[in-house]
A and B are shown apart, each in its own frame.
Chain A
């Protein structure tokens, strides 16, 4: 019921009153924070986007060690959860080597104004969030761009240019222009991403509207929280809508689905023989082909599988083998340093971090498995039902 009232107010543009800063209305707080967010995120996104896409196109075209190296590194970077990256950067560059300030948008001694000292201070405080955003963006964009650019390598214009002796840089530029489209549509403010990091006020990154959102414990700030997210989300949506319109302009035949990219990526290949009647599923053919072994794939596949097996073994068998079965037992003081008995020291309750780590991995894996299974089951059920009965007859 309360939620309905909230929705009604939301429809009228009223986001309610913040719990945390009681008299302030949420929309005013957001209005204050919004330009800040955009001004801070935009440069990082633009730079990250450009660098990432150029890197992806180059890697795809050049191949070889550049491709392998760039691809694994960007995959690794893009798989670091944003909060983990932020924590690590923060610790490395603000605490261990205090090169950058640990938090705030500008020096506490100043108030926002347009003089040189303030700008200097703001820039200085901007470096760390800027770096983390750029890094994450480069990683993600490079991975996506590489996949798209590989498709372009077979295109006639690439072969023709190669045959005509056009310089490599030029060809990369051509490929870039042709493959960049889906990357443009994926372009939006990285919304909820950088939020959680700021959960500790002392170690907060530069504020956006996120700063209003989750500071320590969200429940008491729900109006602000939801409001901030709503605005943020609207921004994303507006961006997406814009991109989709552009996309429509460029590609009239485009079905206008986000699935398009994934579709092309996964099923874009021409499967010869599927049009004929086949009793055997492609999956098994593929599986057999895979087991017969294409060497490039096998290595990476086996490496990552090996990694996973080690992680799973560490989480599920580790406690048994190493006989560390009581993660909740207090064995030391507050943050004891690593020692012979406590290999990774103790946490804030004096519990052994190493034991906790094994049980933590186990819990995380179980939750992930359940979540993945549930999501896939529901998704496949609804997706097939909708795709089978739905609008596709119109489209074909």
Chain B
């Protein structure tokens, strides 16, 4: 877990910038991989906290006593119990991945030879569309980025309410 703590303290955008320079042609898949590899620690920490509380449950003990190995134990006894949490973490990672891609692309470090919302913003800002009042160049991508992020976040919070009765209001 020491590694995770170290990775967490590294400001991710710096690594993203460094990596994006190091990799000369960036396909869409490479971008996704880079961002994913940078942003796993938060999930790891939360999952670790869950796991260490779940592993003290009785059903895990029972399974251990009946002789299942650690891998089977994790897959069959621990992960199903935090699946809802993992789904939520995935949705959050998805939205933050989209936003990180947009931020990178805005700096001109996005995937090459393709179009993404961030790249549209990049060109719009570079050609001073904000100052010249060409709103159609930068308002649509910003709005759609916001919409994507908002719908993902609200999906996450509604799922949170479903799985967590204490958050539910009547």
- Interface residue ranges, A against B (CB under 8 Å): 63, 67, 72, 75-76, 78-81, 83-84, 87-88, 90-91, 95-96, 102, 143, 147, 150-151, 154, 191-192, 195-196, 199-200, 202-203, 214, 217-219, 222, 225-226, 229-230, 232-233, 237, 255, 257-260, 262-263, 265-269, 274-278, 281-283, 286, 289-290, 294, 296-297, 300-301, 303-305, 307-308, 311, 327-328, 334-335, 337-338, 344-345, 347-349, 353-354, 356-357, 359-361, 363-376, 378-380, 382-392, 395-396
B131 touches A102 (CB 8 A): yes
B50 touches A192 (CB 8 A): no
Does residue B151 face the partner (Cβ distance < 8 Å to A)? Answer: yes
Nearest-neighbor residue (CB-CB) of A335 within chain B: B134
Nearest-neighbor residue (CB-CB) of B36 within chain A: A374
Other CB < 8 Å A-B pairs besides A91-B130, A371-B101, A383-B48, 7 of them? A83-B102, A90-B130, A266-B163, A297-B162, A335-B129, A364-B116, A367-B31
Residues of A within 8 A of B78 (CB): 384, 388
B102 touches A301 (CB 8 A): no
Residues of B within 8 A of A260 (CB): 49
Residues of A within 8 A of B121 (CB): 83, 87
Instruction: Knowing A348-B123, A384-B74 are in contact, say whether A95-B149 is a contact too (CB < 8 A).
Output: no
Does residue B37 face the partner (Cβ distance < 8 Å to A)? Answer: yes
Determine which of B28, B47, B142 lies in contact with A87 in the assembled complex, contact meaning CB atoms within 8 Å.
B142
Nearest-neighbor residue (CB-CB) of A378 within chain B: B40
Does residue B23 face the partner (Cβ distance < 8 Å to A)? Answer: no
Nearest-neighbor residue (CB-CB) of B29 within chain A: A370
Determine which of A217, A307, A335 lies in contact with B137 in the assembled complex, contact meaning CB atoms within 8 Å.
A335
A-B CB contact pairs (8 Å), 17 listed: A84-B142, A96-B133, A257-B45, A257-B49, A260-B49, A267-B53, A268-B166, A277-B62, A281-B81, A307-B150, A371-B35, A371-B94, A373-B36, A382-B44, A384-B79, A387-B55, A391-B1
Residues of B within 8 A of A368 (CB): 32, 94-95, 97-98, 101, 148
A373 touches B90 (CB 8 A): yes
B117 touches A390 (CB 8 A): no
- How far, in whole Å, are A260 and B50 apart by their CA atoms in the complex? 10
B119 touches A360 (CB 8 A): yes
A392 touches B45 (CB 8 A): no
B157 touches A75 (CB 8 A): yes
A375 touches B97 (CB 8 A): yes
B127 touches A387 (CB 8 A): no
- Interface residue ranges, B against A (CB under 8 Å): 1, 4, 9, 11, 13-14, 17-18, 21, 28-29, 31-33, 35-37, 39-59, 62, 70, 73-74, 78-86, 88-91, 93-95, 97-103, 106-109, 111, 114-121, 123-142, 144-155, 157-170
- How far, in whole Å, are A349 and B126 apart by their CA atoms in the complex? 12
A372 touches B36 (CB 8 A): yes
Determine which of B55, B57, B163 lies in contact with A275 in the assembled complex, contact meaning CB atoms within 8 Å.
B57
State how many angstroms separate the Cβ of A356 from the closest Cβ of chain B: 5
Residues of A within 8 A of B151 (CB): 304, 307-308, 311
- How far, in whole Å, are A281 and B127 apart by their CA atoms in the complex? 55
- How far, in whole Å, are A384 and B45 apart by their CA atoms in the complex? 9
State how many angstroms separate the Cβ of A21 from the closest Cβ of chain B: 19
- How far, in whole Å, are A337 and B117 apart by their CA atoms in the complex? 19
Residues of A within 8 A of B159 (CB): 301
Determine which of B52, B56, B80 lies in contact with A283 in the assembled complex, contact meaning CB atoms within 8 Å.
B80
State how many angstroms separate the Cβ of A376 from the closest Cβ of chain B: 4
A353 touches B140 (CB 8 A): yes
State how many angstroms separate the Cβ of A235 from the closest Cβ of chain B: 11
- How far, in whole Å, are A230 and B15 apart by their CA atoms in the complex? 12
- How far, in whole Å, are A391 and B42 apart by their CA atoms in the complex? 18
Residues of A within 8 A of B59 (CB): 274, 276-278
Determine which of B54, B79, B115, B136 lies in contact with A338 in the assembled complex, contact meaning CB atoms within 8 Å.
B136
Q: Which 10 A-B pairs have the closest CB atoms?
A: A374-B36, A370-B32, A379-B43, A387-B51, A383-B47, A371-B97, A392-B52, A259-B49, A372-B94, A281-B80
Instruction: Knowing A281-B83, A392-B52 are in contact, say whether A353-B136 is a contact too (CB < 8 A).
Output: yes
Instruction: Knowing A259-B48, A357-B140, A361-B144 are in contact, say whether A388-B74 is a contact too (CB < 8 A).
Output: yes
